[in-house]
């Protein structure tokens, strides 16, 4: 197994700070402590799914959006609700249905007779955490309205922009079964999500714990708040300053470039995918208590960040090759930055 000299190659000396500020390493330790506190709080409800919880939190602190695809009853909605309950921030739930209109999400201008003018009434998208339940059941026009807000972080009505609050996270869910009457997200719109994950069924022991805990066990409504929205905003700002060495930049670009030439893929990851992987890797490094990114951070996040951005060739689909398997083959053959 290759040994990396992270101290020499990937770490930089802490930058000069004002006297009242703490060194980067100490701040990274505080970030990791709060991150684990949030994860442990959510795990009181979602048992045995530490990886899915960690990825959801990484998405929050990387200022991305999360798509959770899984069969019914595996805790997709509960994961989003538990995350929202753990943060003292405003959250809204939108149940997507075929008759849902874009204005039902973004809001609408209503004429105020008393003031003789139109006034904008905000929709449910104006919250810190927005749960878009079963997003594939709404029409493409309604999906596009939400995805525009996700990308622009604002709603424009009558040529007037209305910014959404910060932090802003959309957790969208969809079921891969019962697809009649649904509108699957196009590949270009899937690219707007930082990650796509699956919660999956719990293991035997975790499911037994869930059964034993009902109905008197922990409930989402009773979860304690362990972070304020201002704390989350500060953690987002800190994560964006995590150091990335040149070899790690090269590794990310080479990895995404390899998806564009893979014989299994007819469409690889775009530069947006490279940026998403960089942002997520920075958060993962901070969550581990480091103020610098290492190649393992990138490798650990490559599949959830990149796989949903890839499109297989018809030949690969016939051979039942998955996007994750194609990406795994690329990762296995990609040289990892080594110590100088």
Q: Which pLDDT tens digit goes with each residue over 279-305?
A: 999 999 999 999 999 999 999 999 999
Q: Which residues contact 34 (CB under 8 A, 6 or more apart)?
A: 226, 227, 231, 235
* Mean pLDDT within 202-212: 79
Residue 331 has pLDDT above 60, yes or no: yes
Task: Give the position of tokens 């930049």.
Answer: 249
Q: What separation, in Å, do the N-terminal and C-terminal C-alpha atoms of the chain show?
A: 16
pLDDT more than 90, % of the chain: 45
CA 288 and chain centroid, separation: 17
Residue 335 has pLDDT above 80, yes or no: yes
Crossing angle of helices 323-333 and 295-306, in 10° steps, is 160
Per-residue pLDDT at 181: 64
φ, ψ for residue 195, nearest 5 deg: -140, 155
Residue 15 has pLDDT above 50, yes or no: no
Cα–Cα dist 70/187, whole Å: 18
What is the token pair recorded at 21? 């500020």
pTM assigned to the model = 0.87
Helix locations, the chain, DSSP H: 6-9, 24-43, 50-61, 76-86, 102-106, 140-152, 187-190, 204-213, 229-239, 246-259, 271-287, 295-306, 314-318, 323-333
Strands 227-228 and 87-88: parallel
* Segment 38-97, tens digit of pLDDT: 999 998 888 888 899 999 999 999 999 999 987 777 777 888 888 888 988 888 999 998
CA 274 and chain centroid, separation: 15
- The CATH number of the domain covering residues in 6-11+22-210+221-333: 3.40.50.300
Q: Is 57 exposed, middle or buried (0-12, 13-18, 19+ CB in 10 A)?
A: buried
Per-residue pLDDT at 9: 62
Residue 273 has pLDDT above 90, yes or no: yes
Per-residue pLDDT at 221: 78
Cα–Cα dist 92/164, whole Å: 13
What's the mean per-residue pLDDT of the chain?
Answer: 85
Q: Is 195 exposed, middle or buried (0-12, 13-18, 19+ CB in 10 A)?
A: buried
The CA–CA distances, whole Å, from 41 to 55, 132, 171 equal 15, 22, 18
């Amino acid at each position: 197994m290759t040994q990396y000299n992270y101290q020499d190659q990937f770490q930089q000396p802490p930058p000069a700070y004002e006297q009242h500020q703490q060194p980067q390493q100490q701040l990274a330790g505080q970030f990791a402590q709060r991150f684990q506190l949030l994860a442990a709080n959510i795990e009181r409800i979602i048992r045995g799914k530490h990886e899915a919880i960690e990825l959801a939190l990484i998405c929050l602190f990387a200022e991305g959006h999360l798509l959770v695809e899984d069969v019914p009853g595996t805790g997709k909605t509960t994961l989003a609700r538990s995350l929202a309950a753990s943060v003292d921030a405003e959250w809204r739930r939108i149940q997507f249905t075929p008759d849902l209109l874009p204005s039902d999400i973004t809001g609408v201008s209503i004429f105020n007779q008393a003031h003789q003018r139109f006034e904008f009434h905000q929709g449910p998208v104006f919250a810190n955490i927005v749960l878009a339940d079963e997003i594939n059941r709404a029409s493409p026009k309604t999906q596009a309205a939400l995805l525009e807000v996700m990308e622009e972080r604002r709603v424009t009505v009558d040529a007037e922009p209305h910014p959404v609050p910060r932090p802003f996270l959309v957790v969208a869910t969809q079921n891969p079964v019962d697809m009649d009457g649904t509108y699957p997200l196009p590949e270009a719109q899937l690219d707007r999500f930082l990650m796509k994950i699956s919660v999956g069924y719990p293991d035997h022991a975790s499911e037994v714990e869930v059964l034993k805990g009902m109905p008197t066990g922990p409930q989402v409504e009773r979860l304690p708040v362990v972070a304020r929205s201002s704390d989350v905003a500060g953690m987002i700002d800190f994560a964006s300053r995590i150091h990335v060495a040149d070899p790690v930049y090269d590794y990310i670009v080479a990895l995404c470039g390899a998806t564009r030439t893979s014989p299994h893929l007819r469409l690889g990851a775009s530069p947006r995918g490279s940026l998403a992987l960089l942002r997520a890797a920075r958060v993962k490094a901070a969550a581990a208590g480091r103020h610098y990114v290492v190649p393992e951070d990138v490798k650990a996040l490559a599949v959830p960040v990149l796989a949903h951005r890839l499109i297989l060739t018809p030949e690969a689909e016939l051979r039942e090759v998955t996007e994750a398997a194609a990406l795994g083959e690329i990762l296995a053959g990609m040289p990892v930055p080594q110590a100088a």
